[in-house]
Structure 1
């Protein structure tokens, strides 16, 4: 069984609270948190957590190959989360 609380605490600490150290993909993830589900809903749904973890890992790897400039990232809109 997945410990939902510990997994979510890691995401909150690394992505939501540490705004100054966010990568591009983490910003997208944090935006999806604020626009999508409330925190309580995410904690209560295993499937959402697993999907979020998977998408976050993929996004981190993708973001490493994408320039940080917004103009350059416009070309990659279809790959955004």
Structure 2
């Protein structure tokens, strides 16, 4: 499976990408919005793991970049503290 991991935390993105790669997936990482759109347009991932701090506003842009292909996005976040809710 082709997976695009998007997280502004490079350590988090790298760890997830490494784990997915160990399991045989083709993985690319992105850390910022414009970079995410550029990579998605070329890579055409089957799955995007999207950090919530990147924002939901990126999803329509990702759909346009991929060109009408089915888009599966799973949200990830580090906002797990009670104060973040």
Greater share of strand residues, 1 or 2? Answer: 2
Considering the TM-score relative to the shorter chain, is it more than 0.5? no
Greater share of helix residues, 1 or 2? Answer: 1
Structure with higher Rg: it is 1
TM-score by length of 1: 0.27
